[in-house]
Amino acid sequence: MGRLFAEDDIDFSTLSITSVKAQTWDNESLGCPTSGIYYNTSGAPYHGFSYVITNGTIDWEYHSDETDTTLVRCSDIEPITLSTVNITQQDQLDDATKLTLMRRDFSIDDFVVRREMMEDDMRLLISIFDLNTNLSPETPCNTIFRLDFETPSGTTEIEFICEENYKAFDLFWNGLQGNAPIIGKIIGPYLTGDPIPSLPTASS
């Protein structure tokens, strides 16, 4: 809330709390998701509180976890519009029977099987992608990894992590692009012992 003073020049003496409510949420966004971002769902339901603070003219809504260690100012989050996509629902990932982690082999410029993922991790990823959110048109990217979900209607491919920016955890699906840092924590154990990908050197 110090940002109200530092960035918005709001006088603390004018502020008062008008509402405090206990809340639960489905993912780590605490009810204030940023468009195009996928969040951890493994701890659902996430318990916390919503606060509304006012100076008599403007209201600011905050959401916190139950220990008040994570605080989100929801008024800073751009609302998600009605034009959204839900990967899990659109590709019927709830019916998936197998998930394979693929890794690009840069020597042949194609994906090869890294490892079949466990059922629990597949279900966790399916719950993460079960989110109505805006995705942007994809930008050029030579991806490093791919998730192949096998369903009765075919295989859904979700590529992620660009060689150009391997720390960003961008994901790519059906010509659209989002971001899912949580994927790194899930696939990490499947890469134990793997060397760091040898990426092509950019030409000058």
Q: Read off the pLDDT of residues 22-37 as tens digits, 9 standing for 90 and up.
A: 999 999 999 999 999 9
Q: What whole-number distance in Å separates Cα of residue 146 and Cα of residue 157? A: 7
Q: 43 and 120 share a domain?
A: no
- The reply to whether 61 falls in a domain is yes
- Quote the Cα angle for 70-76-78, to 5°: 120
Query: In the structure encoding, which two tokens stand for residue 46, read together?
Result: 């996430």
Q: 62 and 127 share a domain?
A: no
- The reply to whether 48 falls in a domain is yes
Centre a 10 Å sphere on the Cβ of residue 191 and count the other Cβ atoms it contains.
16
Domain span holding position 143: 87-191
Q: 17 and 93 share a domain?
A: no
What is the pLDDT at residue 3? Answer: 60
What is the pLDDT at residue 8? Answer: 61
Q: 72 and 91 share a domain?
A: no
- The reply to whether 82 falls in a domain is no
Q: 51 and 20 share a domain?
A: yes
- The reply to whether 137 falls in a domain is yes
What is the pLDDT at residue 83? Answer: 75
Collapsed DSSP state (helix, strand, coil) of residue 17: strand
133, 178 contact by CB (below 8 A): yes
What is the pLDDT at residue 66? Answer: 93
What is the pLDDT at residue 194? Answer: 56
Q: 180 and 112 share a domain?
A: yes
DSSP H helical ranges for the chain: 2-6, 87-90, 119-129, 182-187
Query: What's the 3-state SS for 91-149?
Result: CCHHHCCEEEEEEEECCCCEEEEEEECCHHHHHHHHHHHCCCECCEECCCCCEEEEEEE
What is the chain's alpha carbon radius of gyration, rounded to the nearest angstrom? Answer: 20
What is the pLDDT at residue 193? Answer: 63
Give 73's strand partners. 62
Q: 173 and 119 share a domain?
A: yes
Q: 97 and 166 share a domain?
A: yes
Q: 147 and 174 share a domain?
A: yes
What is the pLDDT at residue 204? Answer: 44
Query: In the structure encoding, which two tokens stand for residue 189, read together?
Result: 């154990």
Residues of the chain with pLDDT below 70 are 1-10, 12, 81-82, 193-204
- The reply to whether 204 falls in a domain is no
Collapsed DSSP state (helix, strand, coil) of residue 178: strand
What is the pLDDT at residue 81? Answer: 67
What is the pLDDT at residue 140? Answer: 93
Q: How many domains are contained in the chain? A: 2
What is the pLDDT at residue 178? Answer: 96
- The reply to whether 81 falls in a domain is no
Q: 39 and 125 share a domain?
A: no
- The reply to whether 16 falls in a domain is yes
- The reply to whether 29 falls in a domain is yes
Q: 17 and 58 share a domain?
A: yes
What is the pLDDT at residue 199? Answer: 47
Q: 117 and 72 share a domain?
A: no
Q: What whole-number distance in Å separates Cα of residue 66 and Cα of residue 85? A: 30
